[in-house]
Amino acid sequence: MPHASPAAPATRLASLDLLKILGCLFVVLLHSIVARVERVDDSTAWWLANWMNAAGREAVPVFFMISGALLLRKDVPALWPYYRSVLVRYALPLFGGLATYKALGMSQGDATPLVNTVLYNFADNQGFHLWFMWTFLGLALVVPLLRPMVAAPRNLGLFLALWAVFCVLAPWLGEAGVRIPVGNMLFVFFTGYFVLGHGLFRTGFRVDERLLVACILLSIVATAWLTADFSLKAGVLTTKFYEGPSPCIVLLSAATLKLFLQRFPGQTSPLVRTVSGATFTIYIYHVVVLTVVSRLLGPSTLAMNVFVHTPLAFAACTLLYLAGRRIPVVRAFFHG
């Protein structure tokens, strides 16, 4: 996932690099077991898949929080150098991924036009996960506006409070039939995670790590239990407790980032830095590898998904990154 940026420090922090690796591993795992968790049948395998989903759902919010922690830490003095860096570091790898998934789709009989949704109909086919990259690019584009908006501590607190009301509280009040009549004129859901990461990163206060661990465990238990309760009653998977607007996922994501910031304050080791640099590539290409692995190995169990498919995809994409970085022109599509 994105780490270095026009506003990032020269050194890399172990806390953020380790969290990127963990988050990316969770993303691969969740996509590997998605078929199992979607088959709601109250079996042991389904319950295990549900618990793993609950434990890994902070991955994408944390990616946005890490990005916000780095991209929002300094003002952007000149727009063109900043946007050029965004284009080179993030847009080129994205388009490489889009072309790859379009080729995969065409090999499976996808008849959509070549330039449909910019090379690939990612919303409906194997490239579904690339929505993250478009969202991230959207956030990167507004950094020059967003940074001065939340630079002052008072404005940062106000932004997060209003975001929590409009994007976290309001949807759940709506579930109870209560509607907030005031219009949301500014706040988009993942922008809040972006700013929240910046806020947690720049504030120096410490939180008792036992409390942070308790918040993480409570969030996982609540997410898994609520998902099971609603899903088993309905006979189909209920995903609303897995998703970012869930207060449990907000708490899980914030507590996880804060715990890593406190627990791993030093600089990154060379090995961790290398693997962390590969997470961008892993995120983009892991679905291709999972597709190939599934074809080669045939029908799989939950254990195979967890202990074979997931590590194979993670390792293969890491090797792809290392190889891509060594080829002069191709390396432009494999930024770390």
Please give the pLDDT value at position 116: 56
Separation CA 90–CA 277 (nearest Å): 13
Separation CA 68–CA 58 (nearest Å): 15
pLDDT in tens, 187-205: 888 999 999 999 999 988 8
Output 91 or 104, whichever has higher pLDDT.
Answer: 91
Cβ atoms 52, 29 nearer than 8 A: yes
- Residue-averaged pLDDT of the chain: 89
Tell me the one-letter amino acid at 99. A
Separation CA 85–CA 19 (nearest Å): 24
- For residue 111, what are its two tokens? 């008849």
Cβ atoms 276, 20 nearer than 8 A: yes
Q: With a cut of 90, say whether residue 148 has pLDDT above it.
A: yes
- For residue 210, what are its two tokens? 């036992």
Give the start-to-end residue ranges of the domains of the chain. 14-333
pTM confidence score:
0.90
pLDDT in tens, 243-289: 978 999 999 999 999 999 999 999 999 999 999 999 999 999 999 89
Q: With a cut of 80, say whether residue 3 has pLDDT above it.
A: no
In what helix (H) or strand (E) does residue 128 lie, and over which residues does it extend?
none
Phi, psi of 267 (to 5 degrees): -85, 160
What percentage of the chain reaches a pLDDT higher than 90? 66
10 Å Cβ neighbour count for 114? Answer: 9
Q: With a cut of 60, say whether residue 4 has pLDDT above it.
A: no
pLDDT in tens, 285-327: 999 899 899 889 887 899 999 999 999 999 999 999 999 999 9
